[in-house]
Every structure is written in C-alpha cells, then in structure tokens.
Structure 1
Amino acid sequence: MEIKFNQLTLQNFKSHKDLVVKFGDMTKILADNAKGKSSIGEAITFLLYGTDLVGSKLDPSPVTYQAENTLVTLLLSLEDGELLLGREIAKGRNKFYVNEVPSKATEFNEVVEKLFDKDLFLSLFNPSYFFTLHWEKQRQMILKYTTAPANKEVLNELPKPQSDKLATLVKKHSLEDLDKIHRSNKTKLDKQYIAAQSRAKTLREQLEQNAPTVPLDSLNVELKQLVKERNAIEEVTDKAQTVNGRINILNNQINVLSQVRDDIKDQFNQLKDEQIQDTCRVCNQTLQDDAINAVEAEKEQRIQQVKLKFQQAVDSRKALEEELKTLEYVDVSEQLEKARLLQEKINPIEYEISKHREYKYLEEQVIAAEANEKETLESLNESIFILDAIKDFKAKEAELQVKKVQDLFENLSIKLFEEVKTTGENKPTFIVQMDGKDYMKLSFSEQTRAGLEIRDVLSEQSDLVVPCFVDNSETITKFKEPNGQLIISRVVAGQDLTIESEDK
C-alpha cells in the first residue's frame, strides 16, 4: 500500500502563519537556518500524533507572534481515494477533523491507526526515528516481517545425530520444554551419578577386602567328610540317649508310684481305724439301727475303693519295673566328646563357606551398582547430548535468522545475538553497524544513510510506502533515494523559505 501527501496547510504553526505545501514525488524545502524547514516535517507528525519528528510531545504555538488558534491539515492520497485530516488547537483544546467533519479524538486516532502503525510510520517518515526506539522494539520491528527459520530448515544444518534426535523429540515437546526437562534431568542425574560412582567404588573395595582365601570346593569336601563322621556318632548317641532317657523316665515314674502307694496305704490305715458314730453330727440324736448299718456300709465302700487304688498303683509300678529290667544304660560320654571335637573343626569351615556366600552376594551388589552407574551415566550423557543439540540448534537458528535479516541490507550489518561468556549461549540483542562501527559512533551523514536503508527495508517488508522526510540533507553528499515521496530540507545561506516540488 502506498500513501502519498498531496497538500499540507499550516495556520499559526510555530513560525508559519499561513503556509501551503504542495508535495510532488520530490519536494525540496530550502532556506537559511531558523526559517521553519524542520517545522514542516514536525507539522505532519504533530497532526497525526501530537509529537515532533522523534515522538516527543510538541508545542506548536507560535513563537514570534500571537494567534488564537493553530491548525494543521494534510490531504493524503490513498489507493482508494483521498483523505483529509486536520488538527486544531483553539483556546488550549484539541479539535480533530476527518474529511472536514469534526471528530472525536478516538475516532481520529482510529482512522490513523487503520492507515499505519505509529512506530512504523515514524520510522518510515523520519530516518532518525527508528534509532530512538529501545533496541528490543527495533529488533521486534525488523523481525516482525522476517520469517523465522523453520525447524526442518535448522535441523538440516545440524550434524545427523543431533538432527535425528531432535527431530524425534520435537514431535512430543517444544524445544523450550525439552530444554527445561533435560536441564532438570541433568541437575538430578549429576547428583545421582556421583552417588552411584561412590556406591560402586565402596562395594568394589568391600569385595576386595572380603575375598575368601580358601577355595570353596576344598572347603565343601572337607566339610562333607567331617559332617559325615559327626552324623555317624550322633546317630549312635541319639539312640543311646533315647534308651537312657527312657530309663530316667521309668525311674521317675516308679518313684512317683511308690509315693502314691505309700500315701494310699496311710489313707487305708486311717480309714480302717475310723470309729462308727452312733449320734447324728448335726442334731446329736442317737442313730437308729438302719442308720447305723448305712454308715457302716458307706465306710466299707470307701475301704474297697482305697484297696482298688492301691492295687492299681502296685500293678502299674510292677509293670514299669518289668520294662526297666529290659533296658540297660549306655555311656556315650566318649562319643559326645568326639562329636564336640568334630564340631569344633566344622565351625571354622562353615565360617569360611559363609564368607564365600557373602562374597557372592557382594559380587551381585557390585554388578547391580555398576549397572546402575552405567545406566545413570548413559541417561546423564543423553541429557547433555540433547542440551548441546538444543544449544547448537538455537545457535544455527540464530545464524540462519541473522542471514535472512542480513540479506535484506546492502551496507548495514545487523547483530541480532551476542554470546554470554559464562554459558556460551546466545542472548538476543540488536546492534546496527556500518563499516564495522556502531550506529552511535557514525557521523550524522552516515547515520542518515543508515536510517534510510533501515526505513527502505521496513517499507519493503511491511509492504507500506509513505513519504520520507530527510532533514539537514546538505550534510549528505550522496545517498540512495528511498522509495515513495521524498521530502528533503536543505540549508541555503541567506535564502528565505522556498519549496520546490516535482514529479518523476
């Protein structure tokens, strides 16, 4: 889209009481110093935004005379017709006009915003304006119209292992998320790997310290022989102890029955000597014959029961004595001593064998620890590889992006990134250079040429063409004319304000 200026009208604007500027493809504003050349460019930015050429608030009041109002109008030529915009200050209040129709400030601003973005227009209109912006805004404006390199384009520039790995991973996560994931993994795995190394080393040292000195096979052979001898002795002693135990049990049971027999005998004697009472123990009345007979019968019954118990005890004791006669006590003290001596030989062998078991267990732990160490290292190296690949991806992406931007310029060098020394990573920046010098170190004419090249790139990329105002053009001996209308102001000693317009 191309926007042209047709006519600018100024009434009581700074030094201009009444001025009409008709623009052509080339408009030259010629005059001595302090004749209002720059004010013409400022009138346009004041009309649109209330600012001067670099975006600062502007007071358009007359400086050498008094006036009740200030009025600026600008007739624009658009692709679909003409548009007349006006701004007036009367009694300290702003008034706005769109095609001569009084409008609210919001309505006026909406019309302007539909035409162009403020920073973009001011950068296109005034070649110096772009460099008054913060570098982040400058960077944003340049990159806004420059397509970032596609992932596939960047991956094709990376070594195949990195490219293949990232191509698979970015199907599930963004590069930013992958970076977060593997930075977190690396921090965690760094600690885990140190712990895994330490554990594996400790277990290996324990394994060396606990290595058995006697072969397991010879220990098993010796143990088998000794156990065989001990078991043979224990088989004999176990049988003897069974017999001896039975003898002890029988003797104890016989002694118990002898005591039971004697107790029953005493009980019988007491019962036999018991007198029959002929009076009732409760009421002291003399018992009758039937009652006395019943008491005697009861006593006899008790006597018979005691006799029965006595005979049972005697019979049981006799049976135990008969069994005891068939058994003979076996002295196994010598065999037990032999078994004890054999066990003393067995114990250290079993201890040595247990060391072999412990050694095998330690071996298994060492294998597991080394496997864990290896697995942790592989995971750590995987995260390091991915982080390095992401870093290289971003570096290559930056390189391709810089190339795309750089290809837009003929004389300027654009620095979009700078390396962080502590991390080696790239961080965004925006530095414009010409012939190896930063913009701020350029001469005025060089800065102007730099601004013109920037504005032409912005114009081409945004597909917006607006007039360009080059102030103090007498300081520039030669420059490439920008696209669109060109308005130049030039100091001519001793000359009053003269405006020359011509079409190509």
Structure 2
Amino acid sequence: MQIRFQELTLKSFKSHQDLNVKFGDSTQITGDNAKGKSSILDAVVWTLYGTDVLGRKLDPFPLTYEADETNITLLFSLDGKEVKLGRSLKKGKTSYHINDVPSKAGDFNEIVDNLGGKELFLSLFNPSHFFAMHWEKQRAMVLQFVTAPANKEVLKQLPELQSDKLAGLVKKHSLEDLQKIHKDQKTKLEKEHIAAQSRTQTLNEQLENYEVEGNYGELTAEEQRLTDAIREADKKPAKAWKIENERRQLQSDLDSIQNRIDQSKAKWPDLKNESVPDTCRTCKQPLDDESVKAVETDKEKRIEEFKAEHKQLVEQKKELSGKLAGIEPIDAEAESQKVRDMEKERDGVTAKIRKFEERQRLQQQVTEAEQNEKETRENLNESICILDAIKAFYATEADLQAQKVQGLFETLSIRLFNELKNGELKATFEIEMDEKPYRELSLSECIRAGLELRDVLSEQGEIITPCFVDNAESISRFKEPNGQLVTSRVVTGEELEVTADE
C-alpha cells in the first residue's frame, strides 16, 4: 500500500490563518523558529486522528488571532486513488468531510483505519513517534513482522538431553504451565528434601547409638528353651500341691487314729482292773455262782473286743504311717520360685530380642528414609533439570527471535530481553546504535536511527507513507526513506517557506 500526500489546506489552525501546502517527492519546509513549521506536521495528524504528531491531545485553535472555526483538508492518493479528507472544529463540535461531502465519523474513521493503523502510520510518517511510545508497544510493533521460532526449531538448537525432555513434556502442557508446575514443585521439594535429610540423619544417629547384646539367633533359641522349660516346670507346683494335700490328709487321718489309740489306751486300765461284783447292784442280794460267772464272762468278752479294736487302730496307724512315709514331700513354693526365676531369665532374654527387633525396625526406617531422601532428591533434580531446560529454551528462542529481528536492520541493534540475576529472561525493548541506547544518541543520530527503523517498518508492513524529518538542519546527510520526504529546517531570520520537488 502506498500513500502520497498531494495537498494540505489549513484554515485557522494554530498560527496558520490560511495556508496551502503542495507536496512533491521531496518537500522542504524552512523558516525561523516559531514560524509554524511543526504545525504543518501536526495539521496532517490532526486531520486524520484529531491529535498531535505524538498522538497527544491537541488544541488546534490559534492564539494570536480570532477564529470561530478550524478547518483542515488533506488530499492524498491511496494506491493511486485520490482521497480528500477534511476535519473541522467549531464551538467544540467536530465535523468530517470525505471528498468534500459531509460524512459521519464512522465512515471517516473507516478510511483512516485502512491506512495501516494509527501507531504504525504515525511511526512511518514521523519516526520520532515510535520512540515516544511505551517500550511494550514498540516491541509489539516490531515483533508483529517477525515470525516467532517454532518449538521444533528451538528444540533443535538445544542439547539432546534438554531437547528430548521438553519434546515429550510440551505434548501435555505449555512451556508456561510447565514452568509454573515445576517452580512450585521445586519450592515444595526443596523443603521436603531438607526435611528428608534431617530425618535420615536423626535416624542414623539413633541407629549408631542403639546398642544390642548377644546373637539374635542364639537369643531366640534360648527364649524358646526357657519357654519350654517353664511350661514343664509349671506342672510341678500343681503336682506338689496335690501331693502335699495327700500328705496332709494322711497326716490328719493318722492324727485321728493316734487320738483314738490314745483314748483306747486311757480306757484300758479301767477295763483291765474292773472288779467283778458279788452282790446285785439293785437289790444288794449276794449273787450266786452262776451270776458271778456270767459277769466274769462278760468282762472277758469286753476285754477281747477292746483288744481287737485297739489292735485294729494300731494296724490302721501302721498302714497310714507307711503311706505317709512312702510319699516324698515336694516344696511347692520352691518349685514356683524356680518357675519365677526362669520367667525372669526369659524376660531378660526377651528384652534383648526386643532390642534386636527394635534395631531392625530402626534400620528399616533408616532404609526407608534414605530411599525417600533419594527419591525426593531425584524429583527435585528432575524439576531443576526441566526448569533449566525451559530457561535454555526461552534463551534459545529469544536468541533466534533476536537474530530474525536483527536481520531486518543494517546499523541498529535491537535488544529484546534482559537477563535477570536468577538467569531468567525478562522482555524489554531497546534500540541501540554503535552500542549506545537511543536515549543517549545525539539529535542527528536519533534522526538516522528513526529513518532506518521506519524503513524497516515500512518494508515489513508493506506500507509506503510520506516521512517527515524535523530539525533537518541537525544532520548533514542521511539515507532518504522510501516514499515522499518532507523536511523541516530552521533558517534564522526567514519567514515560513514550503517548496516541493516533483
């Protein structure tokens, strides 16, 4: 698309009460300061956008004379087709004209919008406008003409390990999401790894200080032996108590027999010495021989019965004494004490076994803690590796993008990124010439930088517009831009003059 200015008519615009400017391939505007040279530039922009050349609000009314209305018309060709646009301002109300026909703002703006967009047109028409924009807008304007490197293109430039790792991951998540995931993961895993290291160290210290006695196999065998012995020994106290009860019963029976024997012995003298009466105890009459004989026979019978009974008691005693003597006494308390002693011994062995088992559990905890620490460290290293790969990807992408952008320019250098202390890249935009940033360039250097930049924008945007160079007296030579050239030059003591070369 090519835009060529043909004629600009200013009526009551700032210092210009009635001015007509005709444009050629090269148009020179000369005159002393404050003669209205820059106002011609503002008039073009105000006609199209209602602002000054830098896109700021502009009051077009004159200060040195009275005027009720400001009116500007711009005649230009758009790809060979003539278009005439007019903007008027009267009592705060703006009116528009298209080819001298009163028009609506929407129709007017539709034509203006087709000139490539406000920011791009202003940057092409007035190169200094580009540098007045915010750096993010500058960056976006340049990068819109450069295709961002494809992921495959960037991955090819990375080391194989990083390339292979990211190639699989980007199938599921974007790089931005991957970076968020693993940044969060890294922070979390760093804390977990410190905790895992601390736990492993603590458990190892406990393990080193955990003492055990004996041999585990021998101890378990001894515990089993004692358990078996206790099981057998537990039977003896019960047996002892049974025997003791038998002995007590025998002794009780023996004591009872002995008591009866003693009682029998005590009765014997009376029976033995019992006299045979010769008179009746009732009537006191002398007994006859037959009665006396009966009494004597009765006594003898009772003596025989007594002796037989006494003998039986003595034989019972002998039998019980034999049984009692035949039962060997067992000390039940002593047997119980033996069991208690063995149980105490077994408890000691069991305690040693428990220490072995506790040490084994502690060893298992150490093994698990070391494994957890290892896995945490591996996961942490994996996240770090992925983050490093992403960082390398962005750096490579930035480098490739910068190369593409840099390839558009001949003398200017473009910086698209700043490297932060943590190694990450932060988007920026700065134009440099001879290793000096634009803000430090001289006026002539700024003009040359602006002209080179606007030609790149013009070529890449495929839009050719007139180009206005202000303060042209500050630069002796420069490469003329594509499209019409309009220069403004200060000539001391001279009135405003506009000349155009066909």
Which TM-score tier does this pair reach, normalised by the shorter chain?
0.7 to 0.9
Query: Could you report, residue by residue, the CA deviation over 1:122-162 in whole angstroms, capped at 9, with x for unpaired residues?
Result: 11101111111122221221222222222222222222222
Query: Could you report, residue by residue, the CA deviation over 1:263-310 in whole angstroms, capped at 9, with x for unpaired residues?
Result: xxxxxxxxxxxxxxxxxxxxxxxxxxxxxxxxxxxxxxxxxxxxxxxx
Query: How many Å separate the matches in 1 of 2:430 and 2:192?
Result: 43
Query: How many Å separate the matches in 2 of 1:248 and 1:465?
Result: 135
1:194 aligns with 2:194: yes
In the alignment, is the contact (CA less than 8 A) between 1:237 and 1:335 conserved in 2? yes
Q: By how many angstroms is 1:332 displaced?
A: 4.8
Query: How many Å separate the matches in 2 of 1:148 and 1:43?
Result: 38
Q: Which residue of 2 aligns with 1:150?
A: 150
Query: How many Å separate the matches in 2 of 1:146 and 1:246?
Result: 116
Residue 476 of structure 1 aligns with an amino acid whose one-letter code is I
Q: Which residue of 1 aligns with 2:28?
A: 28
In the alignment, is the contact (CA less than 8 A) between 1:37 and 1:489 conserved in 2? yes
Query: How many Å separate the matches in 1 of 2:186 and 2:244?
Result: 75
Structure 1 spans left out of the alignment, 5+ residues: 250-324
Tell me the secondary structure at the aligned position of residue 2 of structure 2: coil
Query: How many Å separate the matches in 2 of 1:160 and 1:36?
Result: 64
Query: Could you report, residue by residue, the CA deviation over 1:390-423 in whole angstroms, capped at 9, with x for unpaired residues?
Result: 22222222222222222222122222222223x3
Q: By how many angstroms is 1:97 displaced?
A: 0.3
Query: How many Å separate the matches in 1 of 2:81 and 2:101?
Result: 17
Tell me the secondary structure at the aligned position of residue 115 of structure 1: coil
Query: How many Å separate the matches in 1 of 2:407 and 2:471?
Result: 29
Tell me the secondary structure at the aligned position of residue 95 of structure 2: strand
Structure 2 spans left out of the alignment, 5+ residues: 250-322
Query: How many Å separate the matches in 2 of 1:64 and 1:202?
Result: 89
In the alignment, is the contact (CA less than 8 A) between 2:76 and 2:83 conserved in 1? yes
Query: How many Å separate the matches in 1 of 2:470 and 2:125?
Result: 11
Residue 434 of structure 1 aligns with an amino acid whose one-letter code is M
Q: Summarize the Cα distance change of 1:227–1:497 in structure 2 as closer, same or farther, 3 Å threshold.
A: closer
Q: Summarize the Cα distance change of 1:365–1:63 in structure 2 as closer, same or farther, 3 Å threshold.
A: closer
Q: Summarize the Cα distance change of 1:467–1:248 in structure 2 as closer, same or farther, 3 Å threshold.
A: farther
In the alignment, is the contact (CA less than 8 A) between 2:3 and 2:465 conserved in 1? yes
1:450 aligns with 2:479: no
Residue 465 of structure 1 aligns with an amino acid whose one-letter code is I
1:411 aligns with 2:411: yes
In the alignment, is the contact (CA less than 8 A) between 2:29 and 2:488 conserved in 1? yes
Q: Which residue of 1 aligns with 2:99?
A: 99
Q: How does 1:388-427 map to 2 (within 5 A)?
A: 388-421=388-421, 423-427=422-426
Residue 118 of structure 1 aligns with an amino acid whose one-letter code is K
Residue 180 of structure 1 aligns with an amino acid whose one-letter code is K
Q: Which residue of 1 aligns with 2:428?
A: 429
Q: Summarize the Cα distance change of 1:495–1:218 in structure 2 as closer, same or farther, 3 Å threshold.
A: same
Residue 109 of structure 1 aligns with an amino acid whose one-letter code is N
Tell me the secondary structure at the aligned position of residue 178 of structure 2: helix
Q: By how many angstroms is 1:209 displaced?
A: 2.2
1:159 aligns with 2:180: no
Query: How many Å separate the matches in 2 of 1:377 and 1:58?
Result: 63
Tell me the secondary structure at the aligned position of residue 398 of structure 1: helix
Residue 478 of structure 2 aligns with an amino acid whose one-letter code is F
Tell me the secondary structure at the aligned position of residue 114 of structure 2: helix
Identity of aligned residues (%): 54
Query: How many Å separate the matches in 2 of 1:464 and 1:187?
Result: 50
Q: By how many angstroms is 1:7 displaced?
A: 1.8
Residue 379 of structure 1 aligns with an amino acid whose one-letter code is N
Query: How many Å separate the matches in 2 of 1:242 and 1:145?
Result: 112
The count of residues paired between Structure 1 and Structure 2 equals 429
Q: By how many angstroms is 1:470 displaced?
A: 0.9
Worse-superposed segment, 109-118 or 219-228 = 219-228
Residue 414 of structure 2 aligns with an amino acid whose one-letter code is I
In the alignment, is the contact (CA less than 8 A) between 1:244 and 1:329 conserved in 2? no
Query: How many Å separate the matches in 2 of 1:41 and 1:248?
Result: 139
Q: Which residue of 2 aligns with 1:171?
A: 171
Query: How many Å separate the matches in 2 of 1:39 and 1:105?
Result: 24
Q: How does 1:36-47 map to 2 (within 5 A)?
A: 36-47=36-47
Residue 345 of structure 1 aligns with an amino acid whose one-letter code is E
For normalisation by structure 1, the TM-score amounts to 0.77
1:219 aligns with 2:219: yes
Residue 348 of structure 1 aligns with an amino acid whose one-letter code is G
In the alignment, is the contact (CA less than 8 A) between 2:243 and 2:330 conserved in 1? no
In the alignment, is the contact (CA less than 8 A) between 2:11 and 2:17 conserved in 1? yes
For normalisation by structure 2, the TM-score amounts to 0.78
1:483 aligns with 2:487: no
Q: By how many angstroms is 1:44 displaced?
A: 0.5
Query: Could you report, residue by residue, the CA deviation over 1:66-90 in whole angstroms, capped at 9, with x for unpaired residues?
Result: 4443321111211262211011234
In the alignment, is the contact (CA less than 8 A) between 1:31 and 1:37 conserved in 2? yes
Tell me the secondary structure at the aligned position of residue 182 of structure 2: helix
Q: Summarize the Cα distance change of 1:20–1:364 in structure 2 as closer, same or farther, 3 Å threshold.
A: same
In the alignment, is the contact (CA less than 8 A) between 1:193 and 1:376 conserved in 2? yes
Worse-superposed segment, 344-353 or 173-182 = 344-353
Query: How many Å separate the matches in 1 of 2:105 and 2:485?
Result: 29
Query: How many Å separate the matches in 1 of 2:88 and 2:405?
Result: 42
Q: Which residue of 2 aligns with 1:263?
A: none
Q: How does 1:259-274 map to 2 (within 5 A)?
A: none
Query: Could you report, residue by residue, the CA deviation over 1:223-248 in whole angstroms, capped at 9, with x for unpaired residues?
Result: 44444444443344455557778999
Q: By how many angstroms is 1:445 displaced?
A: 0.9
Q: By how many angstroms is 1:463 displaced?
A: 1.8
Q: Summarize the Cα distance change of 1:215–1:59 in structure 2 as closer, same or farther, 3 Å threshold.
A: same
Q: How does 1:370-385 map to 2 (within 5 A)?
A: 370-385=370-385
Q: By how many angstroms is 1:56 displaced?
A: 2.7
Q: Summarize the Cα distance change of 1:95–1:352 in structure 2 as closer, same or farther, 3 Å threshold.
A: same
In the alignment, is the contact (CA less than 8 A) between 2:115 and 2:121 conserved in 1? no
